[in-house]
């Protein structure tokens, strides 16, 4: 149990600043309109398909319960289509072949579900009832975050594993930030 707290706490602490930056780059999820929400989804869509494909190919990731039910790229592309936005080009992406790397990436993708919940509330508050939400609401009734953290409890990581997980999570956050700062593509 202690290992799990340590790894989750480490991941949280060592990516907190990057998360704050990402959060403010998206105005804390308080989107002014559908166009701004579309830009948020478009930035996510530069990474989710390639990141999920990398996880699907990882034996480490495939030990996570329901691993193949967690993928959300299709929902994301469908939401973009509803907004009339074509799938954007993917960012160059590579998952390091080191124990812990898939775990760190999974932390970032699974954790982003928590932000999704808040975004769903803010969309409703802003009266954006037409906003497509299959990506941000994906798995809302599945307790995926809870089962992810329980899985993390059984990683029994040594320090090198933790280092690789943190490095991978930080790389992923940096990539999301870069995707966010890109100009939207012309359609």
Q: Dmax over Cα atoms in the chain, in whole Å?
A: 50
CB under 6 A: which stretch of 59-67, 79-87, 105-113, 125-133 binds ligand HEM? 105-113
Exactly one of 101, 108, 136, 152 binds ligand HEM (CB under 6 A); that residue is 108
- Residues contacting residue 85 through CB under 8 Å, at least 6 positions apart: 38, 41, 42, 187
Nearer to ligand HEM, 114 or 150 (CB): 114
CB under 6 A: which stretch of 56-64, 71-79, 110-118, 128-136 binds ligand HEM? 110-118
CA 84 from chain centre, in angstroms, equals 22
User: Is residue 157 within 8 Å of 87, Cβ to Cβ?
Assistant: no
Assess 133 for contact with ligand HEM (CB under 6 A): no
Exactly one of 35, 114, 124, 140 binds ligand HEM (CB under 6 A); that residue is 114
User: Is residue 180 within 8 Å of 26, Cβ to Cβ?
Assistant: yes
User: Is residue 60 within 8 Å of 155, Cβ to Cβ?
Assistant: no
Exactly one of 23, 66, 68, 158 binds ligand HEM (CB under 6 A); that residue is 23
Please choose, from the candidates 77, 79, 101, the residue with its C-alpha nearest in 3D space to the C-alpha of residue 89: 77
Nearer to ligand HEM, 44 or 58 (CB): 44
Which residues form the interface with ligand HEM (CB under 6 A)?
12, 19, 22-23, 26, 28-29, 107-108, 111-112, 114-115, 118-119, 176
């Amino acid at each position: 149990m202690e290992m799990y707290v340590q790894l989750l706490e480490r991941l949280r602490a060592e990516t907190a600043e990057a998360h704050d930056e990402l959060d403010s780059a998206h105005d804390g999820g308080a989107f002014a309109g559908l166009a701004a929400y579309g830009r948020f989804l478009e930035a996510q869509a530069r990474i989710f398909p390639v990141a999920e494909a990398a996880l699907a190919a990882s034996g480490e990731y495939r030990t996570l319960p329901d691993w193949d039910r967690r993928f959300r790229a299709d929902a994301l592309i469908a939401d973009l289509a509803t907004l009339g936005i074509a799938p954007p080009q993917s960012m160059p992406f590579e998952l390091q072949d080191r124990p812990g790397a898939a775990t760190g990436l999974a932390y970032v993708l699974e954790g982003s579900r928590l932000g999704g919940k808040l975004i769903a509330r803010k969309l409703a508050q802003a009266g954006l009832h037409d906003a497509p939400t299959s990506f941000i609401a994906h798995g809302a009734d599945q307790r995926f975050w809870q089962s992810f953290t329980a899985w993390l409890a059984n990683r029994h990581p040594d320090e090198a594993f933790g280092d690789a997980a943190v490095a991978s999570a930080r790389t992923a956050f940096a990539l999301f930030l870069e995707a966010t700062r890109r100009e939207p593509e012309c359609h």
